């Protein structure tokens, strides 16, 4: 390690420790402002040919992207790519701006390196986000937008359609978020009949927009809740396959409280993320890989904090990965750490490329 890298590491961990002394939402706001104003680090990751990934038609240098919710308003896209993520997902965006739930609404569980949040889709709204995306320069990787409905919407499906129309020409993929636990009724949109209606409406609009705005159709993904019943998971697999959805993101946060001993924040209402979500979301990933017969690209998200976690998600069936909570606890160096460890594990097990390891655990229940 060069003296310069060591100096940077020292500054980085000081900055991270400083942020961790602030209330969580204030720390997050500060991090976004720093990244938005170009004060964040620019991290050059070593080339790792084994980790090259093909996902939704994009060639990625590695499979690790940033999960939705960190940059809800597309304020820091360039700064987030500069940290080394191979793709970035902004949002959740709703048609009208909304304040979200009352504060405090974000809680740290430091012993578990976990978070509980009940943000409630606080965001600047479609018009503002669209203007920011229009002003963005070229990006080094795919940019996704995660879309949702306003809390007080009389017609949630119309909300998703409005967001799809507004963001379609500006992004590389869109995620239909029907899995946030913090907007009452939202997760009911995962029910077979309602999901089919929602996706039907979105696909009709996409067909109409089609190649007019872009040379190819913008992929449409669905992000699912880790709290679905077995029948709910079957419905997701059947409807998304039948409708020709382009992929699934597995998973959002959980309202369950698995594997955490009593801790401050544990009993707060909201969605739990980080390591305590890992097993639940990875098992669901494996089930949905089997239910979809490996025919749908899956993004594995939930508790990824090390190379072993990344490897387990790929083996369960993911072809790309996202994280959020580990960035909060480990800072930007988590990206190089996860990728370095993951690359080592693939090499150890004799995989020449990541693609060969996707879904190899499918026979395991
Ligand atoms: C504070 C916070 C806000 C989030 N907001 C959103 C959101 O707006 N939309 C969404 O789809 N997921 C959101 N998520 C969920 C993450 O995208 C991710 O699915 C989840 O945190 C699990 O990944 P992790 O364990 O790596 O954090 C949020 C998560 C956190 C911690």
pTM for this entry = 0.96
**267 falls in which pLDDT band (50, 70, 90)?**
confident
- Ligand 1 pocket by Cβ (under 6 Å): 67-69, 72, 91-92, 106, 115, 117, 119, 146, 177, 180, 223, 252-253, 273-274, 277, 301-304, 323-326
3-state class (DSSP) for residue 54: strand
Of ligand 1's listed atoms, the one at least distance from the Cα of 179 is: 11
| Strand 271-273 with 173-177, pairing | unpaired
The predicted-structure confidence for 313-337, as pLDDT tens digits, reads as follows 999 999 999 999 999 999 999 999 9
H-helix or E-strand spanning residue 330: helix 325-330
Return the bridge partners of 91, or none.
Answer: 146
Residue 234: DSSP 8-state: H
| Strand 143-147 with 298-301, pairing | unpaired
3-state class (DSSP) for residue 233: helix
Q: How many whole angstroms from 113 Cα to the centroid of ligand 1?
A: 14
Output the residue whose Cα is nearest ligand 1's atom 4: 69
Among 24, 66, 69, residue to substitute to test ligand 1 (most atoms within 8 Å of Cβ): 69
Identify the pLDDT of residue 168. 96
The whole-number average pLDDT for the span 23-48 is: 94
Distance in angstroms between the alpha carbons of the first and the last residue of the chain = 42
| CA pair distance 181, 223, nearest whole angstrom | 12
Q: How many whole angstroms from 273 Cα to the centroid of ligand 1?
A: 7
Handedness of CA 101, 273, 141, 46 (dihedral sign): positive
The predicted-structure confidence for 95-140, as pLDDT tens digits, reads as follows 999 999 999 999 999 999 999 999 999 999 999 999 999 999 899 9
| CA pair distance 12, 14, nearest whole angstrom | 5
């Amino acid at each position: 390690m060069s003296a310069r890298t060591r100096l940077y590491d020292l500054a980085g961990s000081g900055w991270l420790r400083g942020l961790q002394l602030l209330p969580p939402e204030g720390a997050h706001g500060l991090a976004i402002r720093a990244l938005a104003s170009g004060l964040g680090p620019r991290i050059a990751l070593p080339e790792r040919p084994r980790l090259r990934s093909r996902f939704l038609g994009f060639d990625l240098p590695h499979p690790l992207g940033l999960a939705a919710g960190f940059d809800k308003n597309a304020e820091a896209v360039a700064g987030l790519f500069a940290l080394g993520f191979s793709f970035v997902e902004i949002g959740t965006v709703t048609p009208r701006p909304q304040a979200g739930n009352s504060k405090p609404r974000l809680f740290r569980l430091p012993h578990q390196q976990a978070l509980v949040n009940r943000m409630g889709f606080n965001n600047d709204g479609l018009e503002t986000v669209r203007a920011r995306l229009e002003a963005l320069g070229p990006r080094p990787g795919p940019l996704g937008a995660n879309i949702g409905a306003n809390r007080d919407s009389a017609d949630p499906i119309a909300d998703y359609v409005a967001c799809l129309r507004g963001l379609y020409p500006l992004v590389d993929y869109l995620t239909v978020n029907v899995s946030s636990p913090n907007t009452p009724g939202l997760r009911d949109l995962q029910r077979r009949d309602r999901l089919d209606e929602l996706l039907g409406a979105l696909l009709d609009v996409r067909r109409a927009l089609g190649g007019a705005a872009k040379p190819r159709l913008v992929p449409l993904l669905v992000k699912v809740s880790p709290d679905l019943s077995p029948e709910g998971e079957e419905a997701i697999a059947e409807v998304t396959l039948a409708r020709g959805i382009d992929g699934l993101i597995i998973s959002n946060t959980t309202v369950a409280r698995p594997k955490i001993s009593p801790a401050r924040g544990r009993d707060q209402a909201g969605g739990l993320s980080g390591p305590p979500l890992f097993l639940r979301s990875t098992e669901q990933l494996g089930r949905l890989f089997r239910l979809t017969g490996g025919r749908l690209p899956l993004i594995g998200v939930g508790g990824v904090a090390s190379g072993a976690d990344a490897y387990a998600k790929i083996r369960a069936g993911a072809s790309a990965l996202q994280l959020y909570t580990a960035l909060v606890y480990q800072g930007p160096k988590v990206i190089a750490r996860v990728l370095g460890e993951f690359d080592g594990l693939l090499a150890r097990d004799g995989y020449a490329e990541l693609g060969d390891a996707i879904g190899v655990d499918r026979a395991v229940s």
